[in-house]
A and B are shown apart, each in its own frame.
Chain A
């Protein structure tokens, strides 16, 4: 198990991306919904091996479940159709709506959970580094890494501001107007102070030769291993096989 875990986590970021892409595209290629509903299960399985079960399940539930339920509700009742399964007053559930929902949500769950899996098994810094190796500008990867670094800091800063406001008597609970009123005084100082730091940040980066045109090196070593080749070849064979089966047989 431990061996499998490191096997998955140590795959090269682009290999992980190919796995994700495979899991996203194949449900759209294959007819029916059975395979599509299998994809989230497969993702869960991989997440379990990688030791990310809880995060994976949390995000899938929070991010995808509510939309899946809403699709079922909206489509089951309002999709045009005549095969009525159940009726209450003027509302009725139709078979066509259920069919449509099953099809649509199967694809959403498959694509969605593949994306969730990708971000759970891939470190953003590894991803950024692999993009740089592929030739993406370090400025672009800087934006991504830096944003992810700033968020937790800013969150703490916001909590401090809100605590300070609570002690000064700013209400954060009550009716919508009161809650909206709490929003702006908390946010304005946070935004202004965050933006004001950018000129010194520019000096810092320029002093560290960030804009130098020389080819950069990195202490962050990323290497493709034999596992990557194996996984890539396997994915390619499977994909070609699916294409042939789908379009030529």
Chain B
């Protein structure tokens, strides 16, 4: 408990609204460009990487709350967004977001957790539907005679893994571009400081 509180410095708190706004604006941009993904948790992942899992979780949660103002079904997926923040943050603290291959592993784990949480939500709350074009995929699997759980999990595997892995790579590239001086002020920024310059 004390550890969680320690993460919420004024700097870290100020990252949250920016992470949230990035999620919202990136989500809108994806829609504008008609890309069939979400890419609306990049802000959450960046915040989780530099400020830790709990600050990341809040960023994800608040983002879904704000998405929910314009699309209430998004509120049901708040646990997915929060879990993404927590998983990225925990792995980042273990140094799992410092190299491309480590980022790839982190991406797989985040996608796995997202699939595990999003699937039951979609099946139980929304009868398997998501209201997006990817429902076609669910319908195809259903038509082949599989039951609803298999269909939804297949759809989530396709969508979530591409979405989450792409998102974490974007997040990683952006954190890499942050200045050392800026990173030094963040709770967990030291993982990304360019060692060559420091020594």
**Set of chain B residues within 8 Å of A111, measured between Cβ atoms:** 72
* Interface members, chain A 131-153 (any B CB < 8 Å): 139, 142-144, 146-151
Q: How many residues of A contact B (CB 8 A)?
A: 64
* Neighbouring A residues of B131 by C-beta, 8 Å: 66-67, 69-70
Segment of A71-79, A218-226, A234-242 engaged in the interface with chain B: A71-79
- Secondary structure of the B side of the interface? helix
Q: Which of B1-57 contact A (CB under 8 A)?
A: 8, 10-11, 13-18, 20-22, 24-26, 28-30, 33-36, 39, 42-43, 46
Could you say which of B26, B65, B185 has the most chain A C-beta atoms within 10 Å of its C-beta?
B26
B158 at the A interface (CB under 8 A)? no
Q: Is residue A48 contacting chain B, with contact meaning CB distance below 8 A?
A: no
B25 x A67 contact (CB < 8 A):
no
**Chain A interface mostly:** helix
* Residue from B14, B20, B178 having most chain A Cβ neighbours under 10 A: B14
Of A1-9, A10-18, A29-37, A112-120, which stretch is located at the interface?
A: A112-120
Asked whether, in the complex, the Cβ of A187 is within 8 Å of the Cβ of B13, the reply is no
Q: Are A179 and B35 in contact (CB under 8 A)?
A: yes
* B71 within 8 Å of A (CB atoms): yes
B143 close to A184 (CB less than 8 A)? no
Establish whether residues A150 and B18, one from each chain, have CB atoms under 8 Å apart when the complex forms: yes
Pick the contact of B129: A71, A112, A172, A188 (CB < 8 A): A71
- Chain B residues near A172 (CB, 8 Å)? 33
Are the CB atoms of B16 and A143 closer together than 8 Å?
Answer: yes
A-B contacts counted at CB < 8 A amount to 167
CA distance A115 to B142 in the complex (A): 31
A183's partner among B30, B36, B138, B178 (CB-CB below 8 A) is B30
B139 in contact with A73 (CB, 8 Å): yes
Q: In the complex, which of the residues A100, A112, A147, A182 contacts B33, with contact meaning CB atoms closer than 8 Å?
A: A182
**What sequence of 0s and 1s flags, for each residue 145-163 of chain B, a beta carbon within 8 Å of any chain A beta carbon?**
0001001000000000000
Q: Which residue of B lies closest to A107 (CB)?
A: B125
Contact A108–B21 (Cβ < 8 Å): no
Residue of B nearest to A116 (CB): B72
Q: Are B11 and A202 in contact (CB under 8 A)?
A: yes
Q: How far is the CA of A187 from the CA of B35 in the complex (A)?
A: 14
Choice from A78, A101, A186, A210 contacting B29 with Cβ under 8 Å: A186
Contact flag A143-B58 (CB < 8 Å), given A70-B135, A74-B135, A154-B22? yes
B109 adjacent to chain A (CB < 8 Å): no
What 7 additional pairs, Cβ within 8 angstroms, besides A150-B20, A151-B24, A188-B173? A67-B130, A71-B128, A78-B143, A78-B148, A108-B73, A148-B66, A184-B173
**Chain A contact residues, CB within 8 Å of chain B:** 59, 62-64, 66-67, 69-71, 73-75, 77-78, 90-91, 100-101, 104, 108, 111-113, 115-116, 119, 139, 142-144, 146-151, 154-155, 158, 172, 176, 179-180, 182-184, 186-188, 190-192, 194-199, 201-202, 205-206, 210-211
Binding site for A on B (CB under 8 A): 8, 10-11, 13-18, 20-22, 24-26, 28-30, 33-36, 39, 42-43, 46, 58, 62, 65-66, 68-73, 75, 125-132, 135, 138-139, 142-143, 148, 151, 170, 173-174, 177-179, 182, 185
